[in-house]
Amino acid sequence: MHKQEDIFQRQIDAAERHLDVLQRRAQEAPADQQELLLESLEQLSSAMEELHVSAEELRQMNEELVEAGRAVETQRKMYQDLFDFAPDGYLVTDQNGIIQEANRAAESLVQRRREFLRGKPLAILVSGEQRKEFRKLINDLRTRVEGEIPGREFRFRTRRKEIVDVALGVTATRDAGGLPVTVRWQVRDITQRKLAEREIQKVQEALRRNREELRALASRLLTAQEEERRRLSRELHDELNQKLAMLAVEVESLEKELPASPGKIRKQLRKLRDQVVELSDHVHTLAYGLHPSILDDLGLAIAVKSYVQDFSRREKIDVRFAARGIPPSLPLGISSCIYRVTQEALRNVAKHAASRRCTVRLLGSGEEILLSIKDFGVGFDPEASRNQGIGLGIVGMQERVRLVNGTFSIQSIPGRGTQILVRIPGNKEKIETASHPTGR
């Protein structure tokens, strides 16, 4: 550019010299021609002056262009350095996915020199099973007039045939019509992340299987526990209790047959009879606690009502009981669940609530069976309780309810009491499902 300026300046200088020669010759010309020639030469001189001004303006413009060129070159080098030394891989392609440039990180990732990559379709780096999907992405880019281009995850195959998981970020330079001209692909190696995700999935799957196995085991244990309780209850009630009753009758008969004189023996027999009766009552209570036969014979509502009355009398707590819409016959799993939850919840009332009254409601509908147990005692903070660990009693109630596909919740406010709500599916299909939990 400076060379062209010098040539232009020399041409102007030569024109000025030639103008000087013409001016001298005009002065030597005849008088009738001299005025016309001098006027023409004056106009030519003015034009030369304007040419000098234009030349200076051109020189200044050239200097500005040179300075702008240097700035552009500096920016280009800076961009090239940023591009080359970026921690992520970058590939530049045209709208058809043909590679035009690659940085060092991209070279390292795919184990190919940029000289090899230039002019190659980007699709050759994508693993075979994903190339159809990648070509569809290229076609979408060609036809997408505007809007954000979503990033995708692909698997690249390196020169050593190794598979690398990559996340592709896509940025396009568009023409006036909005169509992409060049596309910059950010290529981030996510192989380790993918390996970690797959390991996490394996662990989660193993944990899920373990949870299912534990739940199945818990179901079988609860079922076996209930069956064993029923068996022991029958044996205590049908055998031991009957034998104690016969023993009490025999003692009473023996007492009547004794003569009136041996009062000491009669007193001891009376004491023995009272102990046998007391033992019989205790065995009956024990059998009832293991498994109330009334639950099988008269149904859930009557069994719960009977337990509530015994609890109220024993603990001196006023318990208001209400039952409505409960079928006389329910699957054993459901009736046992509700009965045991009632037992455990009322035990907690007696032990922790410091409440002199509570309510027990047992309501049935076509959709669900609802059990509500509410006291008016000291209450507690559920969040603090969760942080400190849930008690085994609550865990047991939750597990029993879960095994019959029900929901269990506790609502409590310090100083305002606690309410336990149990909801168990009540329609026929759900009852049948609930009565046969997994693993049973």
The pLDDT, as a whole number, for residue 150 is 75
**Cα–Cα distance measured from residue 276 to residue 304, given in angstroms and rounded to the nearest whole number:** 28
User: Which amino acid is residue 138, in one-letter code?
Assistant: I
Cα–Cα distance for residue pair 352/355, rounded to 1 Å: 8
Query: Is residue 416 helix, strand or coil?
Result: coil
Contact, 131 vs 154, CB < 8 A?
no
DSSP 90-131: EEEEETT-BEEEE-HHHHHHHT--HHHHTTSBGGGGB-GGGH
Strand partners, 163: 157
The token duo for 106 is: 């991209």
- Beta carbons within 10 angstroms of residue 346's beta carbon: 23
Spell out the per-residue pLDDT of the chain, length 440, in tens.
556 666 666 666 666 666 666 666 666 666 666 666 666 667 677 777 777 777 777 778 888 887 888 877 777 677 666 777 788 899 999 988 999 999 999 999 999 998 999 999 999 999 999 999 998 888 888 777 565 677 789 999 998 889 999 999 888 888 777 777 888 899 999 999 999 999 999 899 888 887 777 777 666 666 666 666 666 666 565 666 666 677 767 667 766 666 655 666 667 667 776 776 776 666 666 655 556 677 777 889 998 998 899 899 989 999 999 999 998 888 888 988 999 899 899 999 999 889 999 999 999 987 899 999 999 999 988 777 766 656 777 888 888 898 888 999 999 999 899 999 999 987 544 444 444 444 33
- What are the two backbone dihedrals, phi and then psi, of residue 301, each rounded to the nearest 5 degrees? -60, -45
Beta-strand pair 357-364/318-324: parallel
Q: What is d(CA 251, CA 183) in angstroms, rounded to the nearest whole number? A: 104
* CA angle (98, 101, 103) in 5-degree steps: 135
CA distance 224 to 410: 28
* Token reading at 295: 């639950």
Distance CA 327, CA 366 (A): 10
How many residues would you count in the chain? 440
Number of H helices, E strands in the chain: 14, 10
pLDDT value for 437 = 44
pTM above 0.75, yes or no: no
Q: Which of 400, 300, 308 is nearest to 359 (CA)?
A: 308
Q: Is the dihedral of CA 228, 398, 335, 360 positive or negative?
A: positive
Residue (of 143, 78, 161, 158) closest to 110 by Cα position: 158
Judge whether 165 and 129 are in contact, CB under 8 Å.
no
The confidence score (pLDDT) of residue 260 equals 57
Q: Are 204 and 428 in contact (CB under 8 A)?
A: no
Q: Rounded distance, CA 337 to CA 295, Å?
A: 11
Buried b (16+ CB within 10 A) or exposed e, 192-231: eebeeeeeeeeeeeeeeeeeeeebeebbeebbeebeebbe
In this structure, what DSSP letter does residue 128 have?
Answer: G
pLDDT at residue 434, rounded to an integer: 45
Distance CA 327, CA 298 (A): 11
